[in-house]
Structure 1
Amino acid sequence: MKMKSFGRTAAILSVSTLALVGCGGSNNPDAGGGEDSGENGASSEVAGTLVGGGASSQEAAMTAWTDGFTSVAPDAQVNYASVGSGGGRDGFLGGEYDFAGSDAAMSDEEWESSQEICGPEGAFHIPSYISPVAVAFNVEGIDETLNLDADTIASIFAGEISNWDDEAIAEHNPDLELPSTPISVVHRADDSGTTENFVDYLATASDVWDYEVSGEWPGEIAAESAQQTSGVVGLTSETDGAITYADASQIGDLTTVAVQVGEEYVEYSPEAASQAVASSTPVEGQASNNMAYELDRRTDESGAYPVVLVSYHIFCNEYPDQETADLAMAFGEYVISEDGQATAEGAAGNAPISDELRDGAMESLSAITVSE
């Protein structure tokens, strides 16, 4: 069966409602709804276990999605391991997982490797939600949002600014009395899509960050580290003077940074993150139904928050058996459905994807088939 072609366009990602489209088996002429479709569209006949792994930032949303999916497809189960985006992609490419959750898109090299397990079209991405990455800190004496520009943020995380009363920080916050507390940078110890997105922002939006963009924190920078999102948030919460970066849905009681965009300072919010992504362009050169995006970190659009990630689910275009293909398609459709997006927003505060993006994702998922 040939893959359907997908005309990739830059979608407008915004908070909006989504229409759920039912799903059935791959290569099934009745796919898309019918008498066996449940109330929310997922076929009650889909059965079996789908195994995934990846981004720990998806943990709250994934718990809501797996519970919600089981409620509409009671004979189906999704198991997800929060091993980090890099670990998820590695496990997927190694055949350990049926799908991966990732806060960063696969590289061209990874996509080429995916052709070995996913057929000639390889793997493809669908956006599962949009999330701001918060620059979050814990400093006794600062209990309100700080204003910072990209150069200052980059200099802090590079270790070039070492105290909270540094002149560069004070310049953006003239009305605050800043303590002389030493700055302690906390970063992810594991290979992380959140790290990759944050470092990409530092490298693109600032003029002072000279390190490689990667899911692994630059080893040349002396800093504290912890495993996964919960680890960096926990360590920062326990350390006076600490600063970190994390999916905004999981920062707890930490104080945050408003990022300078043009002439204004923008606080994180799902809406501001979506606005930043709206100017982004599709990644080219991978599967015809791929929906990964090149994010615009240097946007000067009013109200946009550029420290943002698009969290993806990565699926195969071809699966070795009908059960796995059906489960992958059904779960993917539930995630982007009205119910799935509302569930993730309620559990994790993520920005739902737009109608336009949902339509494209439905078309992408419909290309899933079974290896001949």
Structure 2
Amino acid sequence: MKHLRASLAIGTALTAMIALSSCASNEGGTPAASGDSSGSASTSLSGTLNGVGSSAQSNAQTAWTKGFQTSNSGVTINYDPSGSGAGRKAFIGGGAQFAGSDSALKDDELSGTFALCASGSKGIDIPVYVSPVALVYNLDGVKDLKLDAPTIAKIFSGKITKWNDSAIAKLNSGAKLPSSSITPVYRSDSSGTTTNFTDYLHQVAPSDWTAEAGDAFPYKTGEGAAKGSGVVSAVTGGKGTIGYVDNSSAGDLSVVAVKVGGGFVKPSAEVASKIAETSPLDTARGSNDVVVKVNRKAIDTAEYPITLVSYMIACQQYKDAAVGSLVKAYAEYITSTDGQQAAADTAKSAPMTGTLLEKAEAAAKSIK
């Protein structure tokens, strides 16, 4: 996979890079990759697509790009994991043909115009990636840390500063907690992972986390780091550190078990998949704008409430029909069972199932 590393300011140049030719599109038919869950061979698709966005999606995008380009050798997909906020900004301004974002388009974004979309058309959110957000930590001698929402909120807001604080000790009976300082590590960039993490804290522990959910981390306690890779690096290189990252990036770091109902749950594809399927959709959205309202207050230990549903953001209809045909084909592959399994194998994500998968597939097919 080729990674686009250019500045968002070169949006016009990126758009000019598209040299698409789609025989199927020119003939008024469906692209050969359309409707084929394997993304199997199509010599009619060619050109370059540039995507920007979610670093949580980075490993999945590697798998999707490889699978799609293997079956469509005339296509090049570039994905720059600069963060969800950067992705939405690039897509809205025309610097990317699609965005990856761990938070859906906001109302003020939807009220504006989208540079690459046809007149009267807006961006739509298509669920493509479901993954738990892991709380990773580096604390000598403690391998099975348990935390609840109020305690997590107090740690990341700076109200709890020592590892042997009574609130942590109460949840970890028998653990040898040191008296050393806690260093919370947060995302310093605009991050959809932060939106999901802070949404959980605000909903489940509102008296301890008064800030609303958002892409920007609201407190400046501890240490900031750019992208998930930066958080992992800071947690790994520090002592007494704790941070939040997409589970695919957790690596060998210790992972917190989060209190859910009467038990404690560690992140996994199974518990993330379950909560994504059982959570309601945002009914205020249009028919092809599929946004999941994750149930942060889950009490079933088969579900993990700090789960992110990450989106591919695309135009409902593109100004350039050839661009639309290629984006549609890529979206259809990503939302297919093969595409979902490819991401699961590479990124430990949770393949979408049931109604959510059906809605995502329908949204992908609706792109023009």
Q: How does 1:1-372 map to 2 (within 5 A)?
A: 25=24, 30-31=29-30, 40-41=39-40, 43-114=42-113, 117-118=116-117, 119-142=119-142, 144-206=143-205, 207-218=207-218, 220-369=219-368
CA deviation profile, 1:270-311 (whole Å, cap 9, x unmatched) = 111122223322223343311111111001123211011001
Normalising by structure 1, we get a TM-score of: 0.87
Structure 1 CA distance for aligned equivalents of residues 341 and 191 of structure 2:
25
Contact 2:280 2:293 in 1 (8 A): yes
- Structure 1 position 252, deviation (Å): 1.5
CA deviation profile, 1:319-368 (whole Å, cap 9, x unmatched) = 12122111100100111122211211111100111143332222212222
In structure 2, the residue corresponding to 1:312 is in which secondary structure?
strand
- Structure 1 position 37, deviation (Å): 7.3
Mark the CA change 1:35 to 1:222 in structure 2 (over 3 Å): closer, same or farther.
Answer: closer
Letter in 2 for 1:128: V
Structure 2 CA distance for aligned equivalents of residues 228 and 109 of structure 1:
24
- Structure 1 position 215, deviation (Å): 0.4
Mark the CA change 1:162 to 1:362 in structure 2 (over 3 Å): closer, same or farther.
Answer: same
Higher relative contact order at CA 8 Å, sep ≥6: structure 1 or structure 2? 1
Structure 1 CA distance for aligned equivalents of residues 283 and 35 of structure 2:
38
Normalising by structure 2, we get a TM-score of: 0.88
Contact 2:328 2:367 in 1 (8 A): yes
Structure 2 CA distance for aligned equivalents of residues 158 and 192 of structure 1:
17
Mark the CA change 1:24 to 1:360 in structure 2 (over 3 Å): closer, same or farther.
Answer: farther
Bigger shift: residues 253-262 or 41-50: 41-50
In structure 2, the residue corresponding to 1:106 is in which secondary structure?
coil
In structure 2, the residue corresponding to 1:96 is in which secondary structure?
coil
Letter in 2 for 1:140: D
Mark the CA change 1:26 to 1:266 in structure 2 (over 3 Å): closer, same or farther.
Answer: farther
Contact 2:37 2:332 in 1 (8 A): no
Structure 2 CA distance for aligned equivalents of residues 57 and 38 of structure 1:
23
In structure 2, the residue corresponding to 1:260 is in which secondary structure?
strand
Structure 2 CA distance for aligned equivalents of residues 124 and 216 of structure 1:
22
- Structure 1 position 30, deviation (Å): 4.0
Structure 2 CA distance for aligned equivalents of residues 331 and 355 of structure 1:
21
Question: Paired residues, what number?
Answer: 345
Identity of aligned residues (%): 39
Mark the CA change 1:72 to 1:222 in structure 2 (over 3 Å): closer, same or farther.
Answer: same
Structure 2's unaligned 5+ residue stretches are 1-21
Letter in 1 for 2:146: N
Structure 2 CA distance for aligned equivalents of residues 90 and 298 of structure 1:
31
CA deviation profile, 1:68-96 (whole Å, cap 9, x unmatched) = 11001111111111110000000000110
Structure 2 CA distance for aligned equivalents of residues 70 and 45 of structure 1:
13
Contact 1:186 1:225 in 2 (8 A): yes
Mark the CA change 1:27 to 1:154 in structure 2 (over 3 Å): closer, same or farther.
Answer: farther
Structure 2 CA distance for aligned equivalents of residues 42 and 109 of structure 1:
40
Structure 2 CA distance for aligned equivalents of residues 324 and 346 of structure 1:
29
Structure 2 CA distance for aligned equivalents of residues 58 and 340 of structure 1:
13
Contact 2:84 2:100 in 1 (8 A): yes
CA deviation profile, 1:230-265 (whole Å, cap 9, x unmatched) = 001001100000000000110111111111111111
In structure 2, the residue corresponding to 1:182 is in which secondary structure?
coil
Bigger shift: residues 184-193 or 270-279: 270-279
Structure 1 CA distance for aligned equivalents of residues 270 and 113 of structure 2:
33
Mark the CA change 1:114 to 1:270 in structure 2 (over 3 Å): closer, same or farther.
Answer: farther
Letter in 2 for 1:348: A
Letter in 1 for 2:62: T
- Structure 1 position 56, deviation (Å): 0.8
Contact 2:102 2:193 in 1 (8 A): yes
Structure 2 CA distance for aligned equivalents of residues 109 and 257 of structure 1:
35
Structure 2 CA distance for aligned equivalents of residues 200 and 35 of structure 1:
36
Mark the CA change 1:307 to 1:252 in structure 2 (over 3 Å): closer, same or farther.
Answer: same
Mark the CA change 1:356 to 1:42 in structure 2 (over 3 Å): closer, same or farther.
Answer: farther
Letter in 2 for 1:239: G
Mark the CA change 1:69 to 1:33 in structure 2 (over 3 Å): closer, same or farther.
Answer: closer
